[in-house]
Structure 1
Amino acid sequence: MEDLRILYCDDALLAIDKPAGLLSVPGRGPDKADCAIARAQTRWPDALVVHRLDMGTSGILVFGRGPAAQRALSMAFEQRRCDKRYEALVAGLPESDAGEVELPLRCDWPRRPRQMVDVQQGRPALTHWQVLGRDASLGRSRLALTPITGRSHQLRVHLAAIGHPILGDELYAPPAHHAAAPRLWLHACRLALPHPVSGETIVVASPAPF
């Protein structure tokens, strides 16, 4: 069991740098017991889940230390008082330098855990994106992503929907683009949020490892 890289820690708030391939919370079965919250609780028994990252996504994951901190942080996420930024390497070269994707999402029940765009029954979902760099020789681009809403797999589905799937995405990228990367190239690189006790804005950063 690897040690977690700590990005911020005090009596109420813990932020770690979750590696790709590690679950945020336990999955079904004993083989999926190893996860970020289990590792955190071996050192901070009062750490409680506030939000999650997909197993393939790396980067900033926050826990509240104790029920009161957990409630305050969960409310901040629900009320969209947290500013989240991700970086991704995607297939293709977007024509525009920035844009947004506003497509409602819902679970694709027959193919769980996949999500899907559904303009009739989906929940509203909005993602802002900005090009950080284009590599014409490799046919890929680096994007900064800001999810305004927090739907499951939102960034992955939205980027696939506009023709720029995240490289290494086993669920939403075509086979060639899935095979073009050793992992899902998506990283939670910056999070600004109100401290659960003081209310002061805390900014946590983690550079993308790709």
Structure 2
Amino acid sequence: MAMRSPLPIRDGVGATRLHVPLSGPWPTVSAYMVERFFHLDPEHLRERFDRGEIVAFDGSALTRDTALGAEEFVWYYREPPVEVDIPFDVEILHQDDDLLVVDKPHFLPTTPAGKYLQNSALVRLRRELDNPDLAPVHRLDRATAGLLMFSTRPQTRGAYQMLFQARAIEKVYEAVSARPEGWEDRFPLTVRLHIEKLRAQVCVDVDLAREPNSETLIELIDADERVIHTLLRPHTGKMHQLRVHLASIGAGILHDNLYPILTDEKPDDHERPLQLLARELRFVDPLSGQQREFVTRRTLRYAPGRADRF
């Protein structure tokens, strides 16, 4: 069972939980955190203890002198970064007492991460709907646009999460890639690879010697002299699976800065979004037993036939 935060949602953002070692070379919890967050000003961090902003499981404030070992977990609010605005809106497609389905734009993360806090789908929707209990039941990469599902209340959240864990939900994506050689005779094509995310690595590893743990059916929608437009039906949900699978057949997704080649991070270019779209979701609702189907209203800008794409 998830550990409940002693701090409430604030401005749509939940408190951060930090695991603190019960023993080690640090005399106090604050000393550990100063070393753990070495990139921050140490005195500013200690002052946060003085202001009672670092709390224990029961909500009581720790001091800068709280001994190491007194608490295994502490909670605090992240200090909001100076965020670059993401000038695209989340569109609500469906809302009921238990489920929210939205159309997420490119460039907007699903949840707060790194330098994005208020500019995340979760925080924007919590504030718009005044619902601190809102939580995603799956995720899309920041660069990917399309359908995203949220649970609106904790009591029924597990039922929707189980759909993804049991692979009881049909997901369909589409992508636009540079046209690979010999594409005419390649589709439909099923790609199977062993994908593994290693700690501290941005990209996943592909191990051709190991048993595949990811599978995607790739079908052709359209093509022209420059690109191919494909329909993707993933049967598993590994991290970056679709991006890796297309790159593995020489059809890396347009504007992908991770695959097949990791490039230096650059500011977002809103004219060149990753050409990957979560297009359809289908499942039997675990609460009502009814068939549900949702389809994105977004399109891929660089697909064949789009006059404004280049």
**Same fold, TM-score > 0.5, yes or no:** yes
1:6 aligns with 2:95: no
1:32 aligns with 2:116: yes
Partner Cα separation in structure 1 for residue 262 and residue 133 of structure 2: 42
Partner Cα separation in structure 1 for residue 189 and residue 212 of structure 2: 20
1:73 aligns with 2:160: yes
- Give deviations 1:158-204, integer Å, cap 9, x for gaps: 1101111001101004599xx9x711000001001232421312101
Query: Secondary structure at the residue paired with 1:32?
Result: coil
Partner Cα separation in structure 1 for residue 223 and residue 116 of structure 2: 37
| 1:108 to 1:162, Cα distance in 2 relative to 1, 3 A | farther
- Give deviations 1:102-160, integer Å, cap 9, x for gaps: 101001445x2211211456760000110001112x2x100000110000100001110
4+ aligned runs moved over 3 Å, structure 1: 119-123, 173-176
Asked if the contact 1:50–1:64 (Cα under 8 Å) also holds between the matched residues in 2, the reply is: yes
- AA aligned to 1:35 is S
- Please identify which structure carries the higher strand content: 1
1:50 aligns with 2:50: no
1:165 aligns with 2:255: no
Asked if the contact 1:13–1:196 (Cα under 8 Å) also holds between the matched residues in 2, the reply is: no
Asked if the contact 1:168–1:184 (Cα under 8 Å) also holds between the matched residues in 2, the reply is: yes
- AA aligned to 2:288 is S
Percent identical across equivalent pairs? 33
Partner Cα separation in structure 2 for residue 98 and residue 208 of structure 1: 24
- AA aligned to 2:106 is A
- AA aligned to 1:22 is L
Query: Secondary structure at the residue paired with 1:40?
Result: helix
Aligned to 1:199: 289
- AA aligned to 1:41 is R
Aligned to 1:21: 107
Structure 1 residue corresponding to 2:272, chosen from 171, 179, 182:
182
Partner Cα separation in structure 1 for residue 235 and residue 93 of structure 2: 23
Query: Secondary structure at the residue paired with 2:238?
Result: coil
Q: How many aligned residue pairs are there? A: 202
Structure with higher Rg: it is 2
- AA aligned to 1:162 is I
Q: Gapped runs of 5+ residues in structure 2?
A: 1-84, 264-268, 301-310
Partner Cα separation in structure 2 for residue 164 and residue 207 of structure 1: 25
Partner Cα separation in structure 2 for residue 9 and residue 106 of structure 1: 35
Partner Cα separation in structure 2 for residue 134 and residue 59 of structure 1: 22
Question: Greater relative contact order (Cα 8 A, min sep 6): structure 1 or 2?
Answer: 1
Asked if the contact 2:89–2:105 (Cα under 8 Å) also holds between the matched residues in 1, the reply is: no
- Structure 1 segment 81-160 matched on structure 2, within 5 A: 81-93=168-180, 94=183, 95-109=185-199, 112-120=201-209, 124-136=213-225, 138=226, 140-160=227-247
| 1:132 to 1:116, Cα distance in 2 relative to 1, 3 A | same
